[in-house]
Structure 1
Amino acid sequence: MTALALAGPRCPARPVTTDDGAEIAVYEHGDPDAPVTVLLCHGWTMSAQDWRPHIDALTRPRQGFPAVRAISYDQRGHGRSTRGAGTLDMALLGRDLGRVLAEATRDDVPVVVLGHSMGGMAIQQLAAHRPTLFGDRVRGVGLISTCLSEVAEGLTVPADRPGAAVRRLSQARRHLADGLLRSPRSARTVHRLLTGPLSHPHTAPLWRAVFGAGPHTESVREGARAFRDIPAMAIAEFYAALTTHDCVGRLGALAQVPTRILVGALDCVTPPAQARRLADDIPGAVLQTVPGQGHDLPYERPVLVVETVHTLLREMPRRRTGGFALAAPAAL
């Protein structure tokens, strides 16, 4: 959840315009004629810039795999993308992903989509609303540090609470989000409390939730500085949008393609229990829990994420694709 709102990837952006007027900044990496495209969706308060290590690795050839084409984009209201005029909810971010998929990838080239946190929720929303894309255009899915519903449940809901208590706490989170949107002063106060003192940001609750084992002092300090550069009301608005996410029982389309789920064992934002719920809702999905890691798993363990993409390429249905034959599934 480290925030890099104003940074941009090293390559120029092309705009994709949505129906409500948002300009989505899309970045293209690697050979445009590569036989596979990987589409990367970042999380809340982050940007396409955070995928740079993964893109650098994926766009180079590796033994047994071609170099892929990588597409990254700034979610609306993040990085270089504008907010647009639409009512902000997770279904809208799913539609944005569908627009990027349609305009920035080739119809004749298979796509693997990979999403972290809010990006993973956008993928779920797309699967729920446009299931026919999966198995046809989209041939593999990676969901990292994300959840099926009840965003941030692990921060507030004990595992043994009955369903009624869970629902009350879920409503309380939505009321909190609504209150922050109505009161800029409250939003700014919560913003500062979450990030903590810049001299010792690791003492703040946000960073204890985001990072796993180890001090991560410089990473936490960098994230805290960047997080404070994002307007408090923008953070509050997107938090409110996150509370609308619920794809329970709506992800049958993901059973049509290889789906891999990664979660850090120490993730308090989208904890392992939520990852298990997500895996149980997608027939055939493979769940991997990573010891010692928190919510920022993809950025602390980029090699693992790249290996996961290569695993998805192995598991894609065997067929001729752009001049190379995808291998049969095999463990890394």
Structure 2
Amino acid sequence: MRPDVTTVSTADGARLNVHAYGPKDAEPIVLSHGWTCSIAYWNPQINVLAGKYRVIAYDQRGHGASDLGRIKLTSDVLADDLAAVLAATVSPRKKAVIVGHSMGGMSIMAWAAKYPHQVEQFASSVVLANTGADRLIAETTVVPLRGPIKQIPGLLGQVVLGAQVPLPTAFITRRPMRWVGLSPTATAEEVDFCWRLVSACKGRTRGKWGVALSGLDIAKALDKITVPTTVIAGERDRLTPPVHSERLASQLAETGSLEQLLVLPGAGHMGNIEAPQAFNDEIVRLRTLSKRRVRRRTLAVAEAG
């Protein structure tokens, strides 16, 4: 399916690559991908959902065809970029289901924290998938931290995540992809797809965003997400283990915004690729749920009048 391609300019002058698929007048779904990926990461969702919905996806800053820009990378930049994309692509008359995976989920949380007034303006519901708000390095199980090294997770994380060296493309180097990003049951095709995405990310982008994310702490942002929110976890996610999703769900439950915590059995970090049907079904359920709520509000107003 050929997308409508647009460029969204940010306040600092960076240009973000945005693709929109499906009928222009359809209910919108906005997809925000994670660290080292690109719009193509969402192919399993775009190919299924764009026949009925307006599916909007963008390359995060420095990823894919989007500029990295010259400003320091922070969670505020994630928030600003998402705000710019929403303002350019979503009408408040047709609110979107906003879906974020990993760094994309962090983008949503950072956006809600910085622009709380926009949450109910642009979002009918939210999906936070395979993501976390804090303690990203301390709780990873890719390389468990034990003994003396456990005392310096922040420094270790900045060194590892901030490395800007190119990734080798030989087949043998794809084996860690299954361990880090997927699960033992991932197919060779899934591993190859993810590796091609990750290895295409520029070293400078990977390193600068890696450093920015290593000390992330936006847990207070959950209080600002005031629309129904589903948290999705991969049972075997090593990058953002289920403990992150459980903590997000618990905080959202306290504020009344939790729709559900959905754990994908056997899936790793790339849950939307390993379990696309369950992932897509939840997006559709939220999209349908939002439409029903609008209809009920309309009927209530009509009856009151």
Corresponding residue for residue 330 of structure 1: none
Give the stretch that moved more between structures: 128-137 or 285-294.
Answer: 128-137
- Counterparts of 1:167 and 1:114, CA distance in 2: 34
- CA-to-partner distance for each residue in 1:238-277, whole Å, 9 max, x for gaps? 21122242111221122x2110011111100011111111
Instruction: Indicate the SS of the match to 2:97.
Output: strand
1:174 corresponds to 2:158: yes
Corresponding residue for residue 6 of structure 1: none
Query: Would you identify which runs of 4 or more consecutive aligned residues in structure 1 move more than 6 Å?
Result: 164-167
- Counterparts of 1:300 and 1:208, CA distance in 2: 13
Alpha-carbon distance, 1:165 to partner:
8.4
- Counterparts of 2:173 and 2:31, CA distance in 1: 28
- Counterparts of 1:71 and 1:12, CA distance in 2: 9
Instruction: Indicate the SS of the match to 1:250.
Output: helix
- Counterparts of 2:241 and 2:129, CA distance in 1: 11
- Counterparts of 1:176 and 1:51, CA distance in 2: 26
- TM-score computed with the length of structure 1 as normaliser: 0.79
Alpha-carbon distance, 1:167 to partner:
6.8
- Counterparts of 1:165 and 1:315, CA distance in 2: 47
- CA-to-partner distance for each residue in 1:206-254, whole Å, 9 max, x for gaps? 4302111325224324443453333323211121122242111221122
> In the comparison of the two structures, how many residue pairs are matched?
294
- Counterparts of 1:177 and 1:207, CA distance in 2: 18
2:82 to 97, 107, 115: 97
> What amino acid does structure 2 have at the position aligned with 1:227?
V
Q: Structure 1 residues 278 and 200 mapped into 2: Cα distance closer, same or farther (>3 Å)? A: same
Instruction: Indicate the SS of the match to 2:128.
Output: strand
- CA-to-partner distance for each residue in 1:115-146, whole Å, 9 max, x for gaps? 11111110010011111222232110001111
Alpha-carbon distance, 1:171 to partner:
4.0
- Counterparts of 2:186 and 2:30, CA distance in 1: 31
Please tell me whether the aligned partners of residues 2 and 21 of structure 2 are also in contact (alpha carbons under 8 angstroms): no
Corresponding residue for residue 328 of structure 1: none
TM alignment of 1:254-265, pairs within 5 A: 254=225, 256-265=226-235
2:15 to 18, 23, 29: 23
- Counterparts of 2:179 and 2:40, CA distance in 1: 23
Q: Structure 1 residues 54 and 230 mapped into 2: Cα distance closer, same or farther (>3 Å)? A: closer
Q: Structure 1 residues 167 and 120 mapped into 2: Cα distance closer, same or farther (>3 Å)? A: farther
TM alignment of 1:48-127, pairs within 5 A: 48-60=39-51, 67-127=52-112
2:243 to 265, 273, 295: 273
Corresponding residue for residue 293 of structure 1: 267
Please tell me whether the aligned partners of residues 45 and 280 of structure 2 are also in contact (alpha carbons under 8 angstroms): yes
Alpha-carbon distance, 1:176 to partner:
4.6
2:205 to 221, 225, 234: 234
Q: Structure 1 residues 199 and 100 mapped into 2: Cα distance closer, same or farther (>3 Å)? A: closer
- CA-to-partner distance for each residue in 1:275-323, whole Å, 9 max, x for gaps? 11111222342211111100011122222122111221344372239x9
Q: Structure 1 residues 165 and 312 mapped into 2: Cα distance closer, same or farther (>3 Å)? A: farther
Alpha-carbon distance, 1:42 to partner:
0.8
Instruction: Indicate the SS of the match to 2:238.
Output: coil
Instruction: Indicate the SS of the match to 2:230.
Output: strand
Corresponding residue for residue 64 of structure 1: none
Corresponding residue for residue 253 of structure 1: 224
Please tell me whether the aligned partners of residues 38 and 197 of structure 2 are also in contact (alpha carbons under 8 angstroms): no
> What amino acid does structure 2 have at the position aligned with 1:203?
R
Please tell me whether the aligned partners of residues 48 and 72 of structure 1 are also in contact (alpha carbons under 8 angstroms): yes
1:209 to 180, 186, 195: 180
- CA-to-partner distance for each residue in 1:35-84, whole Å, 9 max, x for gaps? x2111111111111222331232233xxxxxx321111111111111111
Please tell me whether the aligned partners of residues 157 and 166 of structure 1 are also in contact (alpha carbons under 8 angstroms): no
2:140 to 139, 154, 173: 154
Please tell me whether the aligned partners of residues 178 and 184 of structure 2 are also in contact (alpha carbons under 8 angstroms): no
2:284 to 305, 310, 326: 310
Alpha-carbon distance, 1:107 to partner:
2.4
Corresponding residue for residue 37 of structure 2: 46
Please tell me whether the aligned partners of residues 212 and 264 of structure 1 are also in contact (alpha carbons under 8 angstroms): no
